[in-house]
Amino acid sequence: MNLDQLIEATLFAAARPMTLRKLAELAKAEAEDVKKAVADLAERLDEGSGLMLQNYGNEVELVTKPEAAEIVKTVVKDDEQGELTRASLEALTILAYRGPMTRPELEQVRGVQSSLILRNLMIRGLVEQKEDERLGQPTYAITFDFLKHLGLKSVTDLPDYQALRGHTAIVDMLNQLNEPEKEKQEDNKSDLNV
């Protein structure tokens, strides 16, 4: 059995999102090979299946295609999310395009304190706190449940994704680029001190 088929069976059995690392561990395969197999699987499903691969961050999940929603709804219990309030929608949108982000970062964009709205969205399972921290603050991101509700394969399929993700991505990149630079300088400094 090919690696992409093995991964398909694994995701089917798990019935929840899994990290690429976990998949590599289970399949006893190299990360690079898993990455390629996941891409192959996504393509095969796109072409002829009623299922598709959803991805966010470094996780993937096997789900039904949105075109089948009408019939699938009749056999599963709906999660009854109901409508979103303006504030929820606003916070979710910002997190979808710019997340994962810290609470102060979200508040900077919304211009208003957002701890209660974040809590509400987490209780509804539309937002989750991630393991990673930034500047000592926890980061928040949208969940697979949110993606599923929109029937999207990835946040990159959101309208105008590149434009709205925009400069934060670049800023992040610059920060990452700057960090080793800073360390180098620090090293140099200590050299001089010796």
Partner 1 sequence: MGYTVNIEHFEGPLDLLLQLVEKDELEISKLSLASVAEQFIKYMQSKTVLPEEMADFLVVASKLVYYKSKLLLPGFSDQEMEEGPDLEAQLRQYQMFVTAAKEIDQIWKSGNQSFSRSQTVVRRIREVKFSPPENASLDIMSEIMKRIIARIEPIVRLPKVAIRKAISLHERIKDLFGRIHEHATISFKTYIKDIKHREDAIVSFLALLELVKQRFVMVEQIDLFNDISISAHPEAPERDPLVESFA
Residues 101-140 that bind partner 1 (CB under 8 A): 108-113, 115-116, 119, 122-126
Which among a second copy, partner 1, none contacts residue 27 (Cβ within 5 to 8 A by kind)?
Answer: a second copy
Beta strands in 43-115 (DSSP E): 51-56, 59-64, 101-102
Which among partner 1, a second copy, none contacts residue 93 (Cβ within 5 to 8 A by kind)?
Answer: partner 1
d(CA 34, CA 21): 9
Our CA angle for 13, 17, 22, nearest 5°, is: 80
Q: Is 131 exposed, middle or buried (0-12, 13-18, 19+ CB in 10 A)?
A: exposed
Q: Which residues have C-beta within 8 Å of that of residue 122, sequence separation ≥ 6?
A: 128, 129, 140
Among 35, 36, 88, 125, binds a second copy (CB under 8 A): 125
d(CA 151, CA 47): 17
Restricting to residues 28-87, which ones interact with a second copy according to CB under 8 A?
44, 48-51, 62, 64-65, 67-68, 71-72, 74-76
With CA atoms as reference, report the closest residue to 150 among 134, 126, 170, 131.
126
Which among a second copy, partner 1, none contacts residue 146 (Cβ within 5 to 8 A by kind)?
Answer: partner 1
Among 36, 88, 93, 124, binds a second copy (CB under 8 A): 124
Which among partner 1, a second copy, none contacts residue 176 (Cβ within 5 to 8 A by kind)?
Answer: partner 1
Among 5, 31, 33, 73, binds partner 1 (CB under 8 A): 73
Tell me: does residue 8 bind a second copy (CB under 8 A).
yes
